[in-house]
């Protein structure tokens, strides 16, 4: 059972454009929503994360938008650059941090064309 | 990535063979995790350990076993490898409490092929 659904599976964006990746979750007990970035041959690395007490978090060109009522969150990459080309995973965790188990989405392969 | 190391980085083995993947970390974290990554399926949790004496099954533990030899070492074993265990395997660590405990640090991965 996929508790975190991610779309699209792949995305091609022109340099300077906006990349948008969406995720939806089912479990209302989740209270931590990170995005991980993975380059080829590397392990995933935390990019940005949000908690449900805010609707948006911005770090540089990366923004998470969070809609608690819809149980959805999305990653926006502004002014996308070729160096942003990577696989992006959304995830969710919760239960008050007691377990810290991350439930990952299926990933989005982003290609930013120069 | 250098804080979490995995060996081997690549391995090809035959069906029925026993294989061990090793993970070491210098981050001083108590919690360690093993995931497998498959195309189109994302990362799925195999086992996790909150300390040397605490090991728990994850989402897909069948066919796998683990050993937490020390705080810094967490090994994943495939007792009798089968082709559908061909995947990319990642080890990860995290702190044991507080808000920082949510962030997981991943190793570089082991690409395992079972023929």
Tens digit of each residue's pLDDT (9 = 90 or more) over B27-72: 999 999 999 999 889 999 999 999 999 999 998 999 999 999 999 9
Interface test mutation site (partner B, options A5, A10, A44, max chain B beta carbons within 10 A): A44
Q: Which residues of chain A have pLDDT under 50?
A: 96-97
What are residue B91's DSSP bridge partners? B34
Q: Where are the alpha helices (DSSP H) in A8-100?
A: none
| CA distances in angstroms from A14 to A7, A27, A80, listed in the order given | 18, 35, 7
Q: What are phi and psi of A52, to 5 degrees?
A: -70, 0
Chain B, 9 to 48: residues with Cβ < 8 Å from chain A are 31, 35, 40-45, 48
Report CB contact under 8 Å: B103, A34: yes
Give the minimum alpha-carbon distance from B99 to chain A in angstroms, rounded to a whole number: 8
On whether the CB atoms of residues A89 and A107 are closer than 8 A, the answer is: yes
Separation CA B74–CA B67 (nearest Å): 6
- Given this model, what pLDDT does residue A2 score? 60
B109 has a pLDDT exceeding 60: yes
- B111: Cβ contacts below 8 Å, ≥ 6 apart: B9, B10, B11, B88, B89
**Residues of chain A contacting residue B48, judged by C-beta atoms under 8 Å apart:** 101
- Given this model, what pLDDT does residue A98 score? 53
Give CA angle at B61 (B90, B28), nearest 5°. 45
User: Region B6-12: what's the mean pLDDT?
Assistant: 97
Three-state secondary-structure class, residue A57: strand
Task: Determine the straight-line distance between the first and last CA of chain B, rounded to whole angstroms.
Answer: 29
Q: A16-39: per-residue pLDDT in tens?
A: 999 999 999 998 888 899 999 999
- Given this model, what pLDDT does residue A29 score? 85
With CA atoms as reference, the chain A residue closest to B40 would be A106
**Residues of chain A contacting residue B109, judged by C-beta atoms under 8 Å apart:** 41-43
Give the minimum alpha-carbon distance from B16 to chain A in angstroms, rounded to a whole number: 27
**Residues of chain A contacting residue B107, judged by C-beta atoms under 8 Å apart:** 43
Give the minimum alpha-carbon distance from B111 to chain A in angstroms, rounded to a whole number: 9
CB-neighbour burial class of residue A2 (10 A; exposed 0-12, middle 13-18, buried 19+):
middle
């Amino acid at each position: 059972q996929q508790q975190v659904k991610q779309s699209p599976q792949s995305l091609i964006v022109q340099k300077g454009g906006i990349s948008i990746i969406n995720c939806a979750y089912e479990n209302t007990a989740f209270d931590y929503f990170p995005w991980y970035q993975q380059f080829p041959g590397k392990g995933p690395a935390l990019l940005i994360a949000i908690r449900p007490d805010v609707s948006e978090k911005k770090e540089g060109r990366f923004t998470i938008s969070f809609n608690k009522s819809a149980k959805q969150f999305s990653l926006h990459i502004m002014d996308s650059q070729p160096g942003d080309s990577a696989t992006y995973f959304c995830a969710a965790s919760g239960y008050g941090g007691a377990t810290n188990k991350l439930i990952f989405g299926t990933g989005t392969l982003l290609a930013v064309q120069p | 990535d250098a804080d979490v190391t995995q060996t081997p980085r690549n391995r090809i083995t035959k069906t029925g063979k026993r294989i061990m993947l090793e993970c070491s970390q210098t981050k001083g974290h108590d919690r360690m995790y093993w995931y497998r990554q498959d195309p189109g399926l994302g990362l799925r949790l195999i086992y996790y350990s909150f300390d040397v004496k605490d090991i728990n099954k994850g989402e897909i533990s069948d066919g796998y076993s683990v050993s937490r030899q020390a705080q810094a070492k967490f090994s994943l074993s495939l007792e009798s490898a089968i082709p559908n265990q061909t995947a990319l395997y990642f080890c990860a660590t995290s702190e044991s409490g507080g808000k920082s405990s949510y962030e997981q640090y991943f190793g570089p991965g082991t690409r395992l092929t079972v023929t």
